[in-house]
Amino acid sequence: MEIRYKEKPLNYKRIIQRICIAAICGAVFAIVALLVLFCFRSQIRKMLGAREENRIVFETEATGQEALEEDWNSEERVDMGENSKYAEAFYEKAFEANNFLVGINEVSAEGYGGKKTYTEYACGIIMYQSKKELLILSTPNAIRGTNIVQITFFNGQTVSGEVLRTDQETGISVVSVQKKVLDKDTKKSVTVAKFGKSSTLHRGECTAAIGNPLKEHRSIVVGQYTAVGGKTRLTDREYTLLETNIVGRRHTAGFLLDANTNVIGIISHREDEEGEAYTVKALGISDLSWLLDALCNNRELPFMGVQVSTVSKETARAYDIPGGAYVEYVYLRSPAVDAGIQRGDILVSMGKREIGSAKQFAEALMELSPRDSVKVQIMRYTNGAYKRVSAEVIISERLERN
């Protein structure tokens, strides 16, 4: 006997119902997930190392020398001693910077004698504002071991600010001030500083030092650049040193401006300088832009552990040595030491990037992240000749204090 099974017809109505139910459940899940992400976005961004606002981008403006020169139909750089009208106009322009200049005073720090209060004013500039906060850039070594500082604005209001990060190499810090603690007058007078291009400066151009160049808060001195090509070398980085004929006082703090009140440099001094008076020097702001970006956006700073200088074409030709980044010093317990890099080596490539100068080395390093492994090509003097060797460097994180 043959048994036949009758196929059960498809229930299209039930299938459509199940599809609809699945679609509704998926939509509800997506909505709930979005709501959770929205409600906890601050905590999630903090866990990922990002700030609450969008990524901060620093833009630079052209220097303002030409703008003032056109006012007096001058085709040459101005001699400050012969043109008091120019100096007066430059001073008046620099006075506008007072709206973005702030005083910074450390409240206290722990010491051998307990808490010590600092009364000497350092200074900073407002470099960024969002709906909720202001970010303050301090002068070098303005903050020494405390997380809370007092910020004094142009109109005299003083509020507390939180130190976010401090770079141990340059000594500059980033301080956050919540806008909700500011009064209406302060909010109205707040001005955000603009940054110029220190890389385009020429010797003889005019500048103004603001901050406390005369050891008086909000003092202003006008002068000229005597040198713009000097270098100061720190770990893994070479900074342009701007020198002026402005005579300041020992431990001067402040910033250099151009004629459009753009910030051109951060005044820096050496702790071992002797005497009360000295000519004002500053780190060029163009070389610091990568560091400001990293500090404000909470990026890890890659660390290799060398001091390098540029082997110029003239030096390479005169001494018959390869061009590149000359290693002047290698720090102990650094990735460079671990990879076998030595003093006297010349770095000529890093990964896929050719290195022809200290600046190119720093740019190549900043493209890397801690824990990255990179192949470095080196020219090393061995047995009377330079020979190419390779090193595998595992980049680590540059430690900071805050």
CATH code of residue 225: 2.40.10.10
Q: Which of 330 and 78 is assigned the larger pLDDT?
A: 330
Query: Average of pLDDT values for 33-46?
Result: 58
Instruction: Write down the pLDDT at residue 278.
Output: 79
Specify whether 313 is located in the same domain as 393.
yes
What confidence category does residue 66 fall into, taking pLDDT thresholds of 50, 70 and 90? very low
- Predicted local confidence at residue 146, as pLDDT: 76
Looking at the domain assignment, is residue 308 inside a domain?
yes
Domain check: are 207 and 290 in the same one? Answer: yes
One domain, residues 259 and 321: no
Please check whether residue 5 lies inside any domain of the structure.
no
Q: How confident is the model at residue 219 (pLDDT cuts 50, 70, 90)?
A: confident
Query: pLDDT tens digits, residue range 143-198?
Result: 877 788 999 998 889 999 999 998 888 889 999 999 999 999 999 889 999 999 99
Based on the domain organization, do 216 and 282 belong to the same domain?
A: yes
Are 353 and 281 found together in one domain? no
Reported as a pLDDT band with limits 50, 70 and 90, residue 229 is confident
What is the value of pTM for the model shown? 0.76
What was the pLDDT predicted at 199? 86
| Predicted pLDDT of residue 186 | 92
Are 389 and 311 within one domain?
A: yes
260-306 pLDDT, tens digit per residue, is 889 999 998 765 556 556 789 999 999 998 889 888 888 888 999 99
Give the domain-ending residue among 246, 267, 296.
296
| 315 lies in the same domain as 366 | yes
Whether residue 223 is found in the same domain as residue 307:
no
Q: Which of 198, 250, 193 is nearest to 227 (CA)?
A: 198
Same domain (yes/no): 206, 286: yes
Q: Between residues 215 and 127, which one has the greater pLDDT?
A: 127
- For residue 65, tell me if it sits in a domain: no
Q: How many domains does the chain fold into?
A: 3
Tell me the mean pLDDT in the region 204-214. 88
State the pLDDT at residue 241. 92
| 238, 327: one domain | no
Which of 296, 325, 359 is at the close of a domain? 296
Higher per-residue pLDDT: 77 or 227? 227
Instruction: Choose the final residue of a domain: 281, 296, 311.
Output: 296
- pLDDT of 303 reads 94
The beta strand positions in 49-132, using DSSP E, are 60-61, 101-106, 109-111, 114-116, 122-129
Within a domain: 84: no
Report yes or no on 353 lying in a domain.
Answer: yes
User: pLDDT higher for 215 or 92?
Assistant: 92
CATH number, residue 354: 2.30.42.10
Instruction: Assess whether 333 and 368 both reside in one domain.
Output: yes
Residue 206 lies in a domain: yes
Task: Examine residue 154 and state whether it is found in any structural domain, yes or no.
Answer: no
Least confident of 20-34, 189-203, 315-329: 20-34
Task: State the residue range of the domain holding 326.
Answer: 302-397
Distance, in Å, from the CA atom of 44 to the CA atom of 34, rounded to the nearest integer, reads 13
Tell me if 173 is assigned to some domain.
Answer: no
313 with 247, same domain: the answer is no
Q: Phi and psi at residue 268, in whole multiples of 5°?
A: -135, 145
**Quick check: 151 and 102 in contact, CB under 8 A?**
yes
DSSP letters for 296-364: HTTPPPEE--EEEEEE-HHHHHHHT---EEEEEEE-TTSHHHHTT--TT-EEEEETTEE--SHHHHHHH
Q: 135 falls in which pLDDT band (50, 70, 90)?
A: very high
**pLDDT averaged over every residue in the chain:** 81
